[in-house]
Amino acid sequence: AKILVLHGPNLNLLGTREPEIYGRDTLADIDARLAARAAEAGHALESFQSNAEHALVERVHRAREEGVALILINPGAFTHTSIALRDALAAVAIPFVEVHLSNVHAREPFRRHSYLSDLAVGVICGFGGDSYALALEAALRRLARSAN
């Protein structure tokens, strides 16, 4: 199956961005590990990062045309602001896992609210780069179940 990984604003700076919060892995490190793990499980995984809300919305729209089976998304700050991204994910009806490197519940109060979580299959936060790896494992299990 096709798995799409979406990264929102400022995640291109991973590795140098507030490393005490977000860790030292770069986005390229994370994406390479995800692609390798997905390939090992027999799936195709593509990653896309943008700082622009419209680009993420349009990538979600394209995912439906491409037959993407599952999305992993770290929406960055759009988590807390974007009704447009929420509506796009609802419109394409592709199951998605919401991912955050940091524990958004242990930070500023404005990070506790997500416009996406109630639509997500599940949410993983607080494990740094491992949040993505754990989200992918959950996604792989779900895909394996739906293949039977």
Using CB under 6 A, which residues numbered 105 to 134 contact ligand DQA?
A: 111
Judged by DSSP in three states, 73 sits in strand
Measured between alpha carbons, how far is residue 115 from residues 9, 11, 99, 118 in Å? 16, 19, 13, 8
Q: Which is nearer to ligand DQA, 24 or 64 (CB)?
A: 24
Annotated catalytic residues are 22, 100
Q: Report the distance separating Cα 94 and Cα 67, nearest Å.
A: 9
Q: Report the distance separating Cα 137 and Cα 106, nearest Å.
A: 24
Q: For ligand DQA, which residue of 101, 124, 136, 139 counts as binding (CB under 6 A)?
A: 101
**111 appears as a binding residue in the annotation:** yes
* Helix (H), strand (E) at residue 70: strand 70-74
- 76 binds ligand DQA, rule: CB under 6 A: yes
Tell me the closest approach of the beta carbon of residue 144 to ligand DQA, in angstroms: 26
Contact 82, 89 (CB under 8 A): no
Q: Which is nearer to ligand DQA, 67 or 109 (CB)?
A: 109
Tell me the closest approach of the beta carbon of residue 78 to ligand DQA, in angstroms: 8
Binding site for ligand DQA (CB under 6 A): 10, 74, 76-77, 79, 100-102, 104, 111
